[in-house]
């Protein structure tokens, strides 16, 4: 962004920097935002000449004080929006980004850093004493924490919606092109919609789904003024991607969580629903699976499954003024006709179709009524609404007291959840953009034939959705969603012809990779809403969590309580200001002076609606006619008005996905390539020893996996350390050959391994029966320390002998004990971290 004293010039370009647009922002207006967009597309030479003329025309005269010409204010990757408090406008720019995922060649970025620039010049600035406080509150929403955007993919919609729009009939697109005069480019290129006998393709752009857009209010001031290429919509939630290698075939597993911007807030301050049917902590989670060897949306294989979490859609709250760990649940308003629940489920029918399945995990049996209050009210609301729906489209209600089953020693929680998951996925189906594979026709599976959803000529569509809730929609909900996602993942892999049965077992590389994605997903969402990470994880419900996890659970509980009691109110104010729920106005109470924000989120308290919805026909007109298909995805006049269609030449850079993905105009290196840096099932989860079945669907013992040496989830640095240590240590005697390093190790890791091995004496292994002796190359005697009478033997984790350090080191070195197999003793087993320290000590001290 270039600046002079009287105006800013915002220069934007395409990724190849061959086409440019210019915005002129006036700095002489103290409180108004004046932006001029000439709608002209410049070449690189033209924009240089334009900036040169601006620089020359704004130079100061000789001898005059002050800066001269045009100066660069900041370089950025996008515009988040414009905001005004009590003085002039600010512009919010993305100054740092990081690639988090790739879907069909479309990059998804995480915002790493932003910059707010005050637009009016100092000479016209009208100061206000409360401006700085509003600025601090606004900046409390950390845009570098889990906000995502994409230049070429609509993150506010699901993959099914995006690809369904791309497959509109060609004749419809021709009609829309002749009727639409807007100059606009769609972020979606459609390789498959080439015109017959011509060289053109159609670009389609749909309006974003406003519920999941977090900077919609920040762009309201300019969205009708500037070209749509300037509008960059961001979502809040989670995005993670991992690579599943199936005998070298790359399959990308992506998890995207979209947090609703309606009725958004923190744990105890936002419960239930508002008057418009928007619920607290509403998150749409989508898992996308695709074959990364073919990127094209029209030629590749893509599959997705969507599920939702959200607070119980009733008027309820909890009073936190009592400072109790579990404040009592209060029903705030009587709703005998389930008005708010009707609004909520109407939204879901429009977006997802039918059936809507509710999995209610709150407690059913309690000594004192607490969570059961919500269950009883929700059952009554669903029963009332179902009597007006056709039976085949009725809302399905599944109550299951997960806490009760967890405490029982006779019940397996995940087995029961697996049964529920199978039932749910069979009813809703999932999305896949290709017909059934030939192998499933030759060897049909019984479960596959019972699968629901909608079968079309191009594949399958998901119809309906699972809505999971507990009280907080955090710990129990995340585990239930993981089990449903695991079940859906098996069907997705089967539909792409990657497995022969739609079943996935625990303790396989594929499920471990998927479980880690869901734990990161759950931790992130829990931090956003509850103020701490997950307290109970999948391993907790499997009852295989290490004993150290209990102390971590206690700390997370305390952290969550502290956050809810002391910092949630400030966070809620920041969210209200950022989302435009509260707008500062001169002469009215300030945000921090309001006793409650209830009136901000419930608009019916300030003005009565002129129209009242029917208590019996509670759905939107037209929704019922298209069920089980979602109304938002059917081809009708109302939905076509949300689309912008434009014709392109097939060689235009704007729709050239090859240049977008491979970036031939940028200097790149393998170490920084995203597809090599992402989590990899072969490198991070598969055992390192040769001869093990490389299939990610093989069940392995916990001590066989690549991440088991370091225990629970570790960061990348610890994983690299593990690989270095395992590569430089002597091999166990039971293996005939051991690879010196993982096949996927980078060159940097190998250089570090070489540096470590220089400090060690080269050794070889000779097998002489029961014990294995390690001798120096070129020598025949055992290598012994002169103060130690014990020869150094094998150092595998399963067979470690007790070694007494030399006398000089006894005071400074801990004596390590190891479990000796085959009845050699009953010593205390080594911890995983201790084992690494022990092996490093032995290698450096004795070898």
Q: Find how far residue 433's CA is from the centre of its chain.
A: 22
Is 273 inside a domain boundary?
yes
On whether residue 736 sits in a domain, the answer given is no
CA nearest 533: which of 514, 543, 551, 520? 520
**Is the Cα dihedral 481, 486, 491, 492 positive or negative?**
positive
Q: Answer yes or no: is 183 within a domain.
A: no
Sign of CA dihedral 647, 650, 653, 659: positive
Q: Are residues 456 and 581 in the same domain?
A: yes
Q: Which pLDDT belongs to residue 437?
A: 76
49-53-59-62 Cα dihedral, nearest 10 degrees: 100
Pairwise CA distance, residues 74 & 96, whole Å: 11
pLDDT for residue 750 = 36
**Above 60 in pLDDT, residue 639?**
yes
675-685 as b/e: b if 16+ CB within 10 A: eeebbbbbbbb
Mean pLDDT confidence for 755-781:
35
Q: What DSSP line would sit under 590-615, residue for residue?
A: -GGG-S-SHHHH-GGGTS--SS---S
Looking at the structure, tell me whether residues 119 and 240 fall in a common domain: no
User: Domain boundary at 624, 646, 668, which?
Assistant: 646
User: What pTM, to 2 d.p., does this model score?
Assistant: 0.79
pLDDT classification of 825: cutoffs 50, 70, 90: very low
Shared domain check, 171 and 71: no
d(CA 43, CA 476): 55
Average pLDDT, integer, range 471-490 = 94
DSSP-derived 3-state class of residue 205:
strand
Angle at 200 between CA 196 and CA 203, to 5 degrees: 115
Residue 180 reports pLDDT greater than 50: no
More confident residue, 167 or 821: 167
- Give the angle subtended at the CA of 450 by the CAs of 449 and 454, to the nearest 5°: 90
* Whether pLDDT at 824 is above 50: no
Q: Who has greater pLDDT, 743 or 135?
A: 135
Of 578, 616, 577, nearest to 594 by C-alpha is 577
Mean pLDDT of 316-325: 79
Q: Please indicate, yes or no, if residue 190 is contained in any of the structural domains.
A: no
From the list 199, 432, 431, 173, the residue with the least C-alpha distance to 300 is: 432
Number of domains within the chain: 2
782 — pLDDT class (breaks 50, 70, 90): very low
Residue 100 and residue 136 in contact, taking contact as beta carbons nearer than 8 Å = no
CA dist 515 and 492 (Å) reads 16
Strands 249-259 and 234-246 turn out to be: antiparallel
Residues 364 and 270 in one domain: yes
- 387 versus 742: the higher-pLDDT residue is 387
Residues 235-263, buried b or exposed e (16+ Cβ, 10 A)?
Answer: bbbbbbbbbbbbeeeebbbbbbbbbbbbb
pLDDT at 517 over 90: yes
pLDDT(174) > 70: no
- Assess whether pLDDT exceeds 70 at residue 483: yes
Query: 124 and 164: one domain?
Result: no
* Same domain, yes or no: 248 and 113: no
Task: Using the predicted structure, report yes or no on whether residue 745 has a pLDDT greater than 60.
Answer: no
Kindly state the percentage of the chain with pLDDT values over 70.
72
DSSP tally for the chain: helices H, then strands E: 25, 28
171 and 115 both lie in a single domain? no
Greatest Cα pair distance, the chain, in angstroms, is: 97
Asked if the model's pLDDT at residue 818 lies above 60, the reply is: no
Q: How confident is the model at residue 646 (pLDDT cuts 50, 70, 90)?
A: confident
- Contact at 8 Å (CB) between 305 and 287? yes
What are the residues whose beta carbons fall under 8 Å from the beta carbon of 71, sequence distance 6 or more? Answer: 2, 3, 4
The share of the chain scoring above pLDDT 90, in percent, equals: 46
Average pLDDT, stretch 634-654? Answer: 78
Tokens of 118: 């005050």
Q: Compare 601 and 441 and report the one with higher pLDDT.
A: 601
Task: Check whether residue 579 and residue 498 sit in a common domain.
Answer: yes
Q: Report which of 385, 336, 315, 268 is spatially closest to residue 605, judged by C-alpha positions.
A: 315
| Structural domain ending residue among the three candidates 592, 627, 646 | 646
Mean of the per-residue pLDDT values for the chain? 78
Identify which of 176-190, 195-209, 262-276 has the greatest average pLDDT. Answer: 262-276
705 belongs to a structural domain: no
pLDDT per position as a tens digit, 141-163: 999 999 999 998 999 999 999 99
Strand partners, 835: none
For residue 778, the model assigns a pLDDT of 37
User: Could you give phi then psi for residue 81, rounded to 5 degrees?
Assistant: 160, -170
User: Is residue 355 scored above 90 in pLDDT?
Assistant: yes
**Locus of tokens 């689309």:** 643
Is the residue at 254 inside a domain? yes
Domain boundary among 622, 646, 670: 646
Going through 320-473 in order, the beta strands assigned E by DSSP cover 329-331, 356-360, 396-399, 431-432, 454-456, 459-461, 465-469
pLDDT category at 731 given cuts 50, 70, 90 is very low
pLDDT value at 65 more than 70: no
Q: Are residues 258 and 363 in the same domain?
A: yes
Q: Is the pLDDT of residue 1 over 80?
A: no
pLDDT of residue 22: 94
Q: Residue 841 above 90 pLDDT?
A: no
Tell me how crowded residue 420 is: count the other CB atoms within 10 A of its CB: 19
* Chain-centroid distance, C-alpha 341: 28
Identify the H or E element spanning 43. Answer: strand 42-43
The structure tokens listed for 636 are: 């009708």
How does residue 531 score in pLDDT terms, banded at 50, 70 and 90? confident
Query: Has residue 846 got a pLDDT over 90?
Result: no
The number of C-alpha atoms within 13 Å of 189 and in the hemisphere containing its C-beta is 26
Q: What pLDDT is stored for residue 712 in this prediction?
A: 42
Task: Flag whether 319 is in a domain.
Answer: yes
Provide Rg for the chain, Cα atoms: 30
Which domain covers residue 85, as residue numbers?
Answer: 2-130
Q: Is the dihedral of CA 468, 474, 480, 481 positive or negative?
A: positive
pLDDT per residue as tens digits for the range 48-64:
999 988 888 877 654 45
Q: Is the pLDDT of residue 749 over 50?
A: no
53: which residues sit within 8 A by CB, 6+ positions away?
none
pLDDT at 772 exceeding the cut of 90: no
Statement: residue 197 has pLDDT above 80: no
Q: Residue 289 above 50 pLDDT?
A: yes
Pull the structure tokens for residue 10. 């915002």
Do 554 and 438 belong together in one domain? Answer: yes
What would the mean pLDDT of 785-814 be, rounded to a whole number?
A: 37
CA distance 43 to 18: 6
Residue 287: φ, ψ to 5°? -105, 125
Most confident range, picked from 362-371, 557-566, 600-609, 769-778:
362-371
Q: Are residues 484 and 541 in the same domain?
A: yes
Q: Which of 50-54, 661-665, 837-841 has the lowest mean pLDDT?
A: 837-841
User: Looking at residues 473-482, what average pLDDT do you find?
Assistant: 93
| Residue 838 exposure: Cα atoms within 13 Å on the Cβ side | 23
The model's pLDDT over 366-425, given as tens digits with 9 standing for 90+, comes to 888 888 999 999 999 999 999 999 999 999 999 999 988 888 777 889 999 999 999 999
**Is there a single domain that holds both residue 166 and residue 107?**
no
Catalogue the E-assigned strands of 131-233.
147-149, 188-189, 200-206
Q: For residue 692, tell me if it sits in a domain.
A: no
């Amino acid at each position: 962004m270039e600046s002079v004293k009287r105006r800013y010039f915002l220069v934007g370009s395409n990724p190849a920097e061959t086409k440019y647009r210019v915005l002129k922002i006036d700095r002489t207006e103290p409180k108004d935002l004046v932006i001029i967009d000439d709608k002209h597309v410049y070449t690189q030479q033209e924009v240089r000449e334009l900036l040169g003329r601006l620089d020359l025309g704004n130079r100061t005269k000789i001898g005059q004080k002050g800066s001269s010409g045009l100066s660069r204010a900041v370089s950025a990757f996008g515009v988040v929006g414009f905001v005004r408090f009590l003085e002039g406008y600010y512009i919010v720019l993305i100054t740092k980004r990081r690639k988090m995922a790739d879907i069909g060649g479309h990059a998804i970025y995480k915002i790493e850093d932003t910059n707010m620039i005050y637009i009016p010049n100092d000479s016209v600035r009208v100061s206000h004493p409360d401006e700085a406080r509003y600025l601090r509150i606004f900046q409390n929403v950390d845009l570098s924490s889990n906000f995502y955007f994409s230049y070429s993919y609509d993150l506010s919609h699901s993959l099914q919606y995006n690809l369904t729009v791309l497959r509109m009939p060609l004749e419809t697109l021709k009609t829309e092109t002749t009727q639409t005069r807007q100059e606009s480019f769609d972020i979606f290129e459609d390789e498959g919609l080439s015109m017959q006998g011509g060289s053109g393709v159609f670009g389609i752009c749909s309006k974003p789904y406003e519920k999941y857009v977090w900077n919609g209010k920040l762009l309201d001031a300019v969205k009708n003024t500037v070209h749509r290429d300037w509008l960059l919509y961001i979502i809040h939630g989670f995005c993670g991607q991992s690579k599943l290698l199936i005998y070298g075939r790359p399959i990308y597993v992506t998890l995207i969580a979209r947090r609703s911007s309606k009725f958004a807030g923190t744990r105890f301050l936002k419960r239930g629903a508002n008057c418009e049917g928007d619920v607290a902590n509403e998150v749409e989670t989508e898992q996308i699976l695709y074959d990364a060897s073919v990127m094209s949306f029209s030629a590749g294989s893509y599959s997705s499954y969507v599920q939702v979490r959200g607070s119980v859609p009733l008027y309820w709250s909890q009073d936190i003024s009592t400072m109790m760990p579990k404040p009592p649940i209060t029903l705030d308003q009587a709703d005998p006709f389930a008005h708010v629940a009707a609004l909520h489920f109407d939204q879901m029918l429009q977006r997802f179709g039918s059936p809507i399945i509710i999995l209610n995990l709150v407690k059913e049996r309690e000594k004192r009524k607490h969570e059961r209050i919500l269950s009883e009210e929700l059952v009554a609301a669903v029963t009332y609404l179902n009597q007006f729906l056709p039976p085949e489209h009725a809302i399905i209600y599944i109550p299951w007291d997960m806490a009760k089953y967890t405490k029982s020693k006779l019940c397996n929680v995940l087995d029961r959840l697996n049964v529920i998951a199978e039932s749910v996925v069979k009813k809703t189906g999932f999305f896949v953009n290709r017909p059934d594979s030939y192998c499933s026709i030759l060897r049909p599976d019984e479960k596959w034939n019972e699968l629901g959803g909608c079968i079309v000529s191009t594949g399958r569509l998901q119809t309906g959705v699972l809505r999971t809730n507990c009280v907080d929609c955090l710990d129990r909900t995340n585990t239930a969603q993981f089990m449903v996602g695991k079940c859906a993942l098996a069907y997705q892999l089967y539909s792409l012809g990657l497995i022969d049965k739609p079943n996935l077992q625990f303790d396989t590389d594929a499920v471990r990779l998927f479980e880690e994605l869901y734990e990161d997903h759950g931790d992130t969402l829990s931090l956003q809403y509850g103020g701490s990470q997950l307290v109970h994880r999948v391993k907790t419900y499997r009852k295989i969590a290490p004993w150290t996890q209990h102390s971590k659970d206690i700390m997370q509980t305390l952290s969550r309580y502290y956050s809810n009691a002391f910092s949630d109110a400030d966070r809620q104010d920041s969210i209200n200001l950022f989302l435009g729920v509260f707008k500062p106005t001169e002469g009215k109470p300030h945000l921090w002076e309001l006793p409650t924000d209830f009136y901000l989120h419930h608009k019916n308290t300030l003005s009565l609606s002129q129209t009242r919805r029917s208590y019996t026909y509670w759905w939107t007109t037209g929704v019922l006619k298209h069920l089980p298909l979602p109304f938002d995805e059917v081809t009708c006049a109302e939905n076509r008005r949300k689309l912008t269609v434009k014709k392109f030449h097939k060689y235009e850079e704007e729709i050239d996905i090859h240049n977008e993905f491979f970036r031939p105009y940028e200097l790149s290196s393998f170490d920084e390539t995203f597809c090599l840096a992402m989590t990899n099932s072969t490198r991070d989860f598969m055992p390192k020893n040769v001869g093990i079945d490389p299939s990610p669907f093989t069940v392995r013992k916990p001590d066989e996996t690549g991440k088991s040496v370091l225990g629970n989830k570790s960061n990348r640095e610890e994983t690299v350390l593990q690989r270095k240590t395992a590569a430089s240590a002597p091999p166990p005697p039971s293996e005939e050959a051991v690879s010196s390093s993982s096949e996927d190790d980078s060159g940097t890791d190998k250089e570090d391994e070489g540096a470590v091995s220089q400090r060690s004496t080269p050794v070889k292994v000779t097998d002489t029966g029961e014990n294995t002796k390690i001798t120096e190359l070129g020598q025949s005697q055992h290598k012994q320390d002169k103060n130690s009478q014990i020869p150094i033997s094998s150092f595998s984790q399963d067979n470690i002998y007790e070694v007494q350090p030399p006398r000089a080191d006894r005071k400074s070195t801990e004596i390590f004990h190891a479990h000796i197999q085959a009845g050699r003793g009953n010593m205390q087993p080594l911890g995983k971290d201790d084992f690494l320290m022990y092996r490093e000590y032995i290698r450096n001290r004795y070898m």
